[in-house]
Structure 1
Amino acid sequence: MKALILEHDVMMADLLETVVSGLYSGATVFVTGSVESALDYWSKFGVDLMITGWSLPDGLGLGVARAIRQKDKQTPIILISSRSDRDSVRQAAQNGINSYIVKPFDVSLLHDRLRALVKQGGFDLEPLIDLERRLRTSVDRVIQLPCEISTADVIQLMERRQDLSPSQLAKRWNDEMALISRLLDVANRASFKKTGEPVRNLRDAIAIMGVDMALRQAVALSLNISGHLRHPRLVEKAETFIELAEKVAHNAQIVATRVDIDASEIHVAGLLSRIGELAVLKVMQQAIDQNCSISDDQIESGLRAWAPIFGNRLKVQWHLPIQLRELIGAVHVLPKATTSKSLLVMRTAALMAADGSDTEECLRLQRRLGLNECDREQLKHANAETSEDNSWQSD
C-alpha cells in the first residue's frame, strides 16, 4: 500500500505519518509539503490513500484532490483543515473528499476514520515474501519501534495538559524508548527547519513541539496496532534487548554523575542503544502476520546481520543529532584514541551492563575517567542492584 500525506506543518505531518504507518503495517508513506511534489509522486506511482491539508505554500490540497478525482474515483482522500464552515465542507465534498476532519482533532478520530477505510477498501499490503527480502525492502521505510504506551494513560494526561510542563512529561516518559525516539525525530525536524540547532534530550523536544503536540504523538503511538509484538520468541528477545538498554542507560547516568558531566543526553543514548534489534523484531512480526514461517535460527541470524544496518538507518531517519548518534555508537564500539568523556562513559556503562565490570577493558576505561577504587566498587555495587531489580521484575 502507498499513502500520500500532503501537509506543510512539520509536526502535523509527522503526527499523520505516525498514525498511518502504525495502522497500515508495511505501508510506504510519502510525506511532502508541496502540491507540485504531491502531484508528481501520484502521477508516477499512484496512491492507495491520501491525506491533505487545505492550504499549502504552492497551492490548495483541494486542487490535488480534484486532479486525482479526474482519473481516479476510488482512492480515499481525507482533508484536514481548521475551516469548519458549511461552504468549506460542501466544497470539499464536491471535490471528492471522503472524510473531512476539523483541526484541532482527536487523534483517535483520525485513527477510527482510517481503520474504517481499511475495512471498506480491503487494501492489499505487500505480497508474501521471504524474511530476507522483507528485511532488505523495509530498511528504507519508516520504522516505528514496538510500543506499549497505554492510550488510557495518555488520554488522562491530555485532560490536564494545561497543568503539565515539558519537564514533568519528560520525567514521566523518561524510560519510554519508542516514544523518546519519535519525539526527538519530530522535534529535530521542526528545530532544524527553524533554527538549524539539534535537539538532544526529551525535555527540550517536548518544549519545542509543545505539550499538546507531544501528547498527540503519544496517542498516535499508543494506537499503533502493528507496534505490539505477539510471537512469543520475538517478545522474549525484545524484553531482553529492552532490559539491556535500560541497564545501559541507568549505568551511564550513574557514571556520568560521578564524573560530573550532563547525564540527560547520555541516558537517552542508552535507551536507544538497541533500536536496531527492536526494529528487526518489528519487521519479523510483520512477516509472521503475513504467514511467513520464521525459525529460531532465522531470528538469530537476522538480528546479527540486520540490527546494525537498521540501527544506523534509524539514526538518520529519525534525525538524531550527530552527537547523540556517536553516543549510541560508543555503546557498541569505542572510537580509537577518543578522549571524549561522554563516549568513555557510554562504553563503560555498556560493559557494566553486560556483567563486564571486572574486565580489563572496563577497568581501564574507569581509570581513564578518573574513577578511583572506591568509586569503582560503588559502581559495581549499583550495577549489581540494577541487575537484581531487573531479575525481580521479570519473575
Structure 2
Amino acid sequence: MKALILEDDVLVAELLETVVAGLYPGVSVNIAGTLAEAVQCTGKHRFDLFIADWNLPDGSGLELVRQIRGSDRGVPIVMVSGRSDRESVLRAAHYGIDGYITKPFDVKLLHERLAKLLKVEQAEPLSLDELLKNSLETVIQLPSDLDPADIVELMSRQEDLSPAQLAERWREEASLTARLLDVANSSSFRRSGKPVESLRDAIGSLGVPLALNQALALSLDVSNKLQHEPLKSLAQIHHEQALQVAKEAQRLAISLKKTSIPFQKAGLLSRLGELAVLKVLNQFAAAGGNLEADEAERALAEWAQSYGNRLKVQWRLPLGLRELIGAVHFLPNDSTREDRLIMRAAALMAAGQQNSEACRRLLRRLGMDVEDHQQE
C-alpha cells in the first residue's frame, strides 16, 4: 500500500505519517510539501490513500483532489485544514473527499477518525519475509501506549524540562503515573518519611532524567499489546533482558564513579530491533499467517539488527548512544573505550555469564575487582 501526504508543515506531516503507519502496517508513505510536488508524485506512482492540506505555499489541496477525482472516483482522500466553518466543509465535500479533519487535532482522535473513514482493500497476503522487508522501509512503531520515540525526543532536551512540564504532559498516563509513584515511594527515594502523592512530586523526587528512563522502560514493554501468545512470551523475555542490561550497566557505571543515566538508557534500548520484529510477526499472525516457533526465532535472528538500526536512525539517536547500544551486542577485541567496555560487560553479566573469561577480562580492563562483582 502507498499513501501520499500533502502537507507543508513538517511536524504535522510527520505526525500524519506516524498515524498512517500505525493503521496500515507495511505502508509506504510519500510526503509532499507543495502542490506541485504532490502532482509530480501522482504522475510517477499510483497511491491507495491521499491526505491533503487545504492551504499550501503554491495553491490549494483542493486542486489535487480535483485532479485525482478526474481519473479515480474510488481512492480514499482525506482533507485536513484549519478551516472548520460549514461553508469550507461543504466546499471540500463537493470535490468528493472521504473525510474532513480540522486542525489542531488530537492524535488519538485522528487515529480513530482515519480508521473509521478509510476502508482500504488489502492486496494478496505477503509472506513473512516479504512483510518484514516491506515494513523495514516504513515508519516503524512499537505497539505501546507510550511512544518510545516521544520519550527519546524528550530525553534529548531533558535539561530544559521541569517536573511540572512532564507532569502536565503525562497527566493522563495512568500506568506511568502509577510506576513513577511506586518508584518514588520506594525506600531508596523516601527521604522525609512522607509518601509522595502527586505525579509532579514523584518526578521531582526522582529527577527528570531518571523519570524519563522509567518512562522509556515502560514504553518498551510491548508484551501486553501482542495477541499471539508465543510472541508475548518472547517480548517479555527480550524486555526483561533489556532491563537487566540497564541494571548491570547502571551498577558498573556507579562503581566507576560515572554518571549512570546514559548507560541505563543504552541498556533499555538494547532490544529495540527484537521488539520491532515481534510487532511485525504479530501482524503476520493476526492476518492469518502460520507462524511456527522456530520461524519466529529465525526472524528475530535475521532481522533484529536491521530493525534496530532503522529505529536508531528514525529516532535520531545520537551517535554516542548508538555506539553504547551496539557494544551490548558486539565489541571488537581491540576496543579501549571505557564506556563500551561497561556496556559489553553489563550484557554478559545480564546473560548470566559473569563467570566467563570474556566478562572477567572486561572487568579487569575496567580496573575492577573481578571477585567482588562475581559475588554481587
Check whether TM > 0.5.
yes
- Displacement of 1:359 in angstroms is 1.9
- Displacement of 1:82 in angstroms is 2.5
Judged with a 3 Å threshold, the aligned counterparts in structure 2 of structure 1 residues 240 and 128 are, in CA distance, closer, same or farther, namely same
Secondary structure at 1:26 match in 2: coil
Q: Which residue of 1 is the match for residue 92 of structure 2?
A: 92
Q: Which residue of 2 is the match for residue 387 of structure 1?
A: none
Secondary structure at 2:70 match in 1: helix
User: Deviations for 1:236-289, whole angstroms, at most 9, x for unmatched residues?
Assistant: 111100110111122222222332333333322212211211222222222222
Q: Which residue of 2 is the match for residue 318 of structure 1?
A: 315
Judged with a 3 Å threshold, the aligned counterparts in structure 2 of structure 1 residues 60 and 342 are, in CA distance, closer, same or farther, namely farther
2:76 matches 1:79: no
Q: Which residue of 1 is the match for residue 258 of structure 2?
A: 261
- Displacement of 1:332 in angstroms is 0.2
Q: Which residue of 1 is the match for residue 158 of structure 2?
A: 203
- Compute the TM-score of the two structures, normalised by the length of structure 1: 0.72
Q: Which residue of 2 is the match for residue 61 of structure 1?
A: 61
* Matching of residues 273-288 of structure 1 within 5 Å: 273-288=270-285
Secondary structure at 1:71 match in 2: coil
Alignment partners' CA distance in 2, 1:62 and 1:106: 23
- Gap runs ≥5 in structure 2: 175-218
Say if 2:76 and 2:97, in contact at 8 Å, map to a contact too. Answer: yes
Judged with a 3 Å threshold, the aligned counterparts in structure 2 of structure 1 residues 9 and 362 are, in CA distance, closer, same or farther, namely farther
Q: Which residue of 1 is the match for residue 181 of structure 2?
A: none
Judged with a 3 Å threshold, the aligned counterparts in structure 2 of structure 1 residues 107 and 312 are, in CA distance, closer, same or farther, namely closer
Alignment partners' CA distance in 2, 1:82 and 1:262: 46
User: Deviations for 1:122-152, whole angstroms, at most 9, x for unmatched residues?
Assistant: x2234123222322333222221232x2xxx
Judged with a 3 Å threshold, the aligned counterparts in structure 2 of structure 1 residues 213 and 8 are, in CA distance, closer, same or farther, namely farther
Letter matched to residue 267 of structure 1: Q
User: Deviations for 1:38-68, whole angstroms, at most 9, x for unmatched residues?
Assistant: 2222232222222233333444333322322
- CA RMSD of superposed structures (Å): 3.3
Secondary structure at 1:328 match in 2: helix
- Displacement of 1:353 in angstroms is 0.7
User: Deviations for 1:6-44, whole angstroms, at most 9, x for unmatched residues?
Assistant: 223333222222222212233222233333332222232
Q: Which residue of 1 is the match for residue 37 of structure 2?
A: 37
Alignment partners' CA distance in 1, 2:12 and 2:166: 14
Alignment partners' CA distance in 2, 1:5 and 1:302: 31
2:365 matches 1:368: yes
Letter matched to residue 26 of structure 1: G
- Displacement of 1:206 in angstroms is 7.6
Alignment partners' CA distance in 2, 1:11 and 1:205: 20
Alignment partners' CA distance in 2, 1:264 and 1:37: 44
2:209 matches 1:241: no
Letter matched to residue 38 of structure 2: A
- Displacement of 1:211 in angstroms is 6.4
Alignment partners' CA distance in 1, 2:122 and 2:45: 15
| Identical residues among aligned pairs (%) | 44
Residue in structure 2 matching 1:133, options 117, 130, 133: 130
Say if 1:252 and 1:345, in contact at 8 Å, map to a contact too. Answer: yes
Structure showing greater Rg:
2
Alignment partners' CA distance in 1, 2:6 and 2:251: 44
Alignment partners' CA distance in 2, 1:206 and 1:38: 38
Say if 1:241 and 1:277, in contact at 8 Å, map to a contact too. Answer: yes
Judged with a 3 Å threshold, the aligned counterparts in structure 2 of structure 1 residues 272 and 362 are, in CA distance, closer, same or farther, namely same
Judged with a 3 Å threshold, the aligned counterparts in structure 2 of structure 1 residues 204 and 12 are, in CA distance, closer, same or farther, namely farther
Alignment partners' CA distance in 1, 2:138 and 2:248: 32
Q: Which residue of 2 is the match for residue 142 of structure 1?
A: 139
Judged with a 3 Å threshold, the aligned counterparts in structure 2 of structure 1 residues 265 and 41 are, in CA distance, closer, same or farther, namely farther
Alignment partners' CA distance in 1, 2:292 and 2:157: 37
Judged with a 3 Å threshold, the aligned counterparts in structure 2 of structure 1 residues 138 and 102 are, in CA distance, closer, same or farther, namely closer
- Compute the TM-score of the two structures, normalised by the length of structure 2: 0.76
Letter matched to residue 230 of structure 1: Q
Q: Which residue of 2 is the match for residue 26 of structure 1?
A: 26
Say if 2:245 and 2:347, in contact at 8 Å, map to a contact too. Answer: yes
Point out which structure has higher relative CO (alpha carbons under 8 A, 6+ apart): 1
Judged with a 3 Å threshold, the aligned counterparts in structure 2 of structure 1 residues 296 and 272 are, in CA distance, closer, same or farther, namely same
Say if 1:145 and 1:282, in contact at 8 Å, map to a contact too. Answer: yes
Q: Which residue of 1 is the match for residue 149 of structure 2?
A: 181
Judged with a 3 Å threshold, the aligned counterparts in structure 2 of structure 1 residues 348 and 201 are, in CA distance, closer, same or farther, namely farther
Aligned length: 328
Letter matched to residue 30 of structure 2: F
Q: Which residue of 1 is the match for residue 116 of structure 2?
A: 116
Alignment partners' CA distance in 1, 2:36 and 2:155: 33
User: Deviations for 1:163-210, whole angstroms, at most 9, x for unmatched residues?
Assistant: xxxxxxxxxxxxx6xx223553xx4xxxxxxxxxxx864736989xx8
- Displacement of 1:212 in angstroms is 11
Letter matched to residue 3 of structure 1: A
Say if 1:181 and 1:272, in contact at 8 Å, map to a contact too. Answer: no
Secondary structure at 1:52 match in 2: strand
Q: Which residue of 1 is the match for residue 2 of structure 2?
A: 2
Alignment partners' CA distance in 1, 2:168 and 2:51: 19
Letter matched to residue 268 of structure 2: L
